Chain A
Amino acid sequence: MTDQTPALRLENIVKTFPGVRALGGVSFEVFPGEVHALMGENGAGKSTLMKVLGGIYQPEEGRIFVEEVQTVMTSPLQAKAKGVMFIHQELSLAEELSVAENVYLGELPRKSFGRVDWARLYAQTDEILDRLKVSFNARTRVGDLSIANQQMVEIARALTVEAKAVIFDEPTASLTDAEKVVLFDVISDLRADGVGIVYISHRMEEIFKITDRISVLRDGEYRGTLVTAETDEDEITQMMIGRSLDLSRNAAPVEVGEVALRVEGLSCGDLFQDVSFELRQGEVVGFYGLVGAGRTEIAETLFGLRTPSSGRIFLKDEELKISSPIEAIGHGISLVPESRKEQGLILGMNCRDNITLPQVDDMTAGPFVADGAEVAIFDQYRDRLQIKTPSWRTSVGSLSGGNQQKIVIGKWLAMRPDVLIVDEPTRGIDVGSKSEIHNLLRDLAAQGYAVMVISSEMPEVLHVSDRIIAMYHGRIMRKFGVGEVTEDSLVQAISGIGGDGQAA
């Protein structure tokens, strides 16, 4: 492999932001037909490095080579012209436009007089969508798609041209297992065609499954490159965070307390039907299922964002009607939502103000907000969750994805809720922080909180939950008690096989 010319090569890239040296002289290369993983903690500089490559950021120092020809990437469009395609970590789609228009955004096929060649546009897009085996077509409005499907649209974009290199920045963060399989097929096709692939992910299983080599960044510095076949998780983790992770978990059955939340026969239109379960103090209950199984909708109903069509909700034996988040919060229910940028964060605001947002009402000294108390809360949760930010004044919009997620979690922890609902708590979070968040959820349960975790990652649900509830098409298929679950039975239950849900 080494005697080939690299498809892409970066040399001593330096990039600084106000208060942060995001990249301090990083070199990196990817060969044609290679899948090269880029790993590192949240905020290590992975996305920044790739944005330099994609022409989004201009580096202060360093050089970029495409097939050993030195190039200056001044814009994403130019990067594309040079055959470098970029699938972004954060979705950037025009929601009002159709899938096809998004896929070919900026270069719609034309007929004479600049008219758009719609027939060709839709045909070409459908061809690409076929490769991706998706359930929607070229004419669907992007805003109507689930986040997972929007991610597939983003991926479809990269397949519109003959690329020399494709960069995937955490493409699987919101994909289901089935979609992941399709994505990996696409990646191996590209690799067979001799395309160089950069793959950023925090998920070890994926890294070992599809990559050839792994380069590690830490605090903006290049740490080294490993050959995937010759390394293991521990070595990578060591390189990334400078220590090994203790993944063991207190296996002793938890002391569960009283029922904190009880749901009886809850239904909401055709989103979910006849859902009953209880959540006890001191336990973590995992909700596992495919995207679209109705888990998020249950969470939203409990948080007062949706009105149930029937069913009852009890908090400590007292029946509740929750018709708004304000009421939910008042009853001690908190929700860490699925999509941090749209539903969780005020991007233009600073870190501190985001964390104190739900409780700032109660933090006043005279007519004014008590700044000092706010900073104290921020400091506490920054330390507890190890949020990496230059200062509390930094606007949340400029944090790395993982650190943004920690801000959202911190915001709700700071409310000290009785029932904490977390929807995909570690989407896009690095292994170190992920295990911190898992430990945190366990700790919270140990302290008597009732925790409901929605996750599409099997290892996560298995690791963090005491009991697991498997859902399929808006119904509970099976409830697994402590120690009852196996991977196989879980997979079956969420695909609608062999559960006890049909009877209900």
Chain B
Amino acid sequence: MTKPTLSGLIKNGAIWGFIVLELIFFSVAGHFWSMSESAFMDFGNMLLLLKQSAPIGIIAVGMTVIMINGNIDLSVGATYALSAVVMLDSMSWPIFAGLGDWVIPVAWLLALLTGVTLGLINGLIVWKTGVDAFIVTLGAMLGYRGLVFMYNGEQPTYHLNWTMVDIAEANVLGLETPSLVLIAVVVIVWLLMTRTVHGRNAYAIGDNREAAVNAGIRVGPHMLLNFALIGFLSALSAVAFYSASGSVNPNDGTLFELWAITAVVLGGTKLTGGSGSIIGTFGGVIAIQLLRKGLGYIGADTETVNLVIGTILIAVLFLDKQLNRKGQEELKV
């Protein structure tokens, strides 16, 4: 938000620089180690990458908003799973039997409603009780996951509807539905945070809550809205993903909260609130997915991938801190 400066540029550009580095590295390394015939930077491969980024990416966008606002939401993975269950299960409810394919939008709506409701519950508890969002959503994470298991036990919930699969796999200019949803979410929420009153106030509350209250900002409603938003986005992510797959396991979405937070932090959002950007988060999401794919491409297994991502997260943040040290010190005095 301040005038562009060198350290500012490095800071905002850091994640993109990292992405370029990854691309170069995997392209070169791929020449020597890859089993695959095709080049890493192949266009189709990149489109696939975007699609695979979508489930976590859509949630991470919501997480950015929550964290800028000074809160955190650990229940996104459980919300994601529960919304998916509601969507797939509702399609075979007898009351909707006469709807034909019109059951699809109804099921989507129900899923989104579920997400919003769960988000509102979190938000209301945080607002009205004043208990830390970390604790509230930790409880919610366990609670909502419990509901998922109560629904169908250990069994997967499934419902295959080919019309729905067609919609979910439709493609515009090579971008499949989940990718389109991700891009739309990034753009809309970016506008929300940078151009609207709600976004402005969310930053203010996250930065200095007392001063925000003194300026007459309604802290509670803004927080509530943000929790509703992240609930909505978690459900939207489920809609985008499960419309194609048609089957949800009760453990799906576990650890999504941590992946989302990783992407957000990698994208430059502060854990303490008040600063961060949606575009940065988008970069963080892409960087992580690129790393996963790239490591797979050169033959690493999942365990190795997680180890590397963890290490890189710490290394990148450390580097970022070093680069910005000067600027930071001068700002906090």
Contact indicator B2/A329 (Cβ below 8 Å)? no
Nearest B residue to A88, CB-CB: B333
The answer to whether the Cβ of A285 comes within 8 Å of any Cβ in the partner chain is no
Minimum distance in angstroms from B223 CB to a CB of chain A: 15
CB-based nearest B residue for A328:
B216
Query: Within the complex, what minimum Cβ distance (angstroms) separates A67 from chain B?
Result: 27
A349 and B196: CB pair below 8 A?
no
Contacts of B207 in A (CB 8 A): 346-349
CB distance from B265 to the nearest CB of A (A): 17
B residues in contact with A343, CB < 8 Å = 210-211, 214
- Chain A residues lying within 8 Å of B214, measured Cβ to Cβ, are 303, 305, 325, 335, 337, 343-344
A481 at the interface (CB under 8 A from B): no
CB pair B208 A398 closer than 8 Å: no
Closest to B212 in A: A346
B213 at the interface (CB under 8 A from A): yes
Q: How large is the interface on A (under 10, 10 to 19, 20 to 34, 35 or more residues)?
A: 35 or more
Q: Is the CB of B203 within 8 A of A57?
A: no
Residues of chain A within 8 A of B195, CB atoms compared: 367-369
Pairwise interchain contact B211-A393, C-beta atoms closer than 8 A: no
Q: How far is the CA of A411 from the CA of B218 in the complex (A)?
A: 17
Interface of B, helix, strand, loop or mixed by DSSP: helix
CA distance A56 to B330 in the complex (A): 9
A113 located at the interface, meaning its Cβ lies under 8 Å from any Cβ of chain B in the complex: no
A18 touches B197 (CB 8 A): no
1/0 contact trace for B240-274 toward A, CB 8 Å?
00000000000000000000000000000000001
Per-residue 0/1 for A342-375: is the Cβ within 8 Å of any B Cβ (1 yes, 0 no)?
1111111110010001101101100111000000
Q: Could you tell me if A358 and B215 are in contact, using CB atoms closer than 8 angstroms? A: yes
Task: Assess whether A397 is in contact with B332, with CB atoms less than 8 Å apart.
Answer: yes
Quick check: is B200 within 8 A (CB to CB) of the other chain?
yes
For the A-B complex, the count of residue pairs with Cβ-Cβ distances under 8 Å equals 94
Instruction: Give the shortest distance, in Å, between B236 (CB) and chain A (any CB).
Output: 20
**Complex Cα–Cα for A330 and B216 (A):** 9
By the criterion CB–CB under 8 Å, are B215 and A357 in contact?
A: yes
Closest to A352 in B: B1
- Chain A residues contacting B204 (CB-CB under 8 Å) are 346, 349, 353, 357
A459 within 8 A of B: no
- Whether B147 is near chain A, meaning CB under 8 Å from some CB there, is no
Report how far A394 CA is from B4 CA in the complex, Å: 10
Say whether, besides A346-B207, A346-B212, A18 and B5 are in contact (CB < 8 Å): yes
B156 to chain A, nearest CB (A): 41
Tell me the complex Cα distance, A141–B217, Å: 31
Assembly CA distance A411 to B211 (angstroms): 12
Taking CB atoms, residues of chain A closer than 8 Å to B196 are: 364, 367-369
B215 touches A411 (CB 8 A): yes
Contact B330–A398 (Cβ < 8 Å): yes
With A and B bound together, what is the CA distance between A51 and B1 in angstroms?
Answer: 26
Give the distance in Å from the alpha carbon of A391 to the alpha carbon of B1 in the complex. 12
Please, how many angstroms separate the alpha-carbon atoms of A343 and B275 in the complex? 19
Instruction: Looking at the assembled complex, report how far the CB atom of B241 sits from the nearest CB atom of chain A, in whole angstroms.
Output: 29
Q: Which of A325, A363, A364 contacts B216 (CB 8 A)?
A: A325
Contact A349–B332 (Cβ < 8 Å): no
Q: Does B128 contact A (CB under 8 A)?
A: no
Interchain CB contact under 8 A, B330 and A17: yes
Shortest CB-to-CB span from A147 to chain B, Å, is 14
Residue of A nearest to B200 (CB): A360
For residue A485, give the distance in angstroms from its CB to the closest CB of chain B.
31
- By a CB distance below 8 angstroms, the chain B residues around A364 are 196-197
In the complex, which residues of chain A have a beta carbon less than 8 angstroms from the beta carbon of B131? Answer: none
List chain A residues, Cβ under 8 A from B197.
360-361, 363-364, 369
- Please state if A395 and B1 are interface contacts (CB–CB under 8 Å): yes
Task: Find chain A residues with CB under 8 A from B218 CB.
Answer: 326
Interface 1/0 per residue, B32-76 and A, CB below 8 Å: 000000000000000000000000000000000000000000000
The 8 Å CB contact of A395, one of B210, B216, B331, is B331
Instruction: Report Cα–Cα, A305/B216, bound state, in Å.
Output: 11
Contact A393 B1 (CB under 8 A): yes
- Does A353 lie within 8 Å of B215, measured CB to CB? no
* Top-10 shortest CB links A-B: A368-B195, A329-B216, A358-B215, A357-B215, A18-B5, A326-B216, A346-B207, A348-B207, A393-B3, A346-B204
A residues with CB within 8 A of B: 17-19, 51, 56-57, 90, 303, 305, 325-326, 328-330, 335, 337, 342-350, 353, 357-358, 360-361, 363-364, 367-369, 390-391, 393-395, 397-398, 411
**What would 15 A/B residue contacts be, using CB atoms closer than 8 Å?**
A18-B5, A305-B214, A325-B213, A325-B214, A325-B215, A345-B208, A346-B207, A348-B203, A353-B200, A357-B212, A358-B215, A360-B197, A360-B200, A361-B197, A368-B191
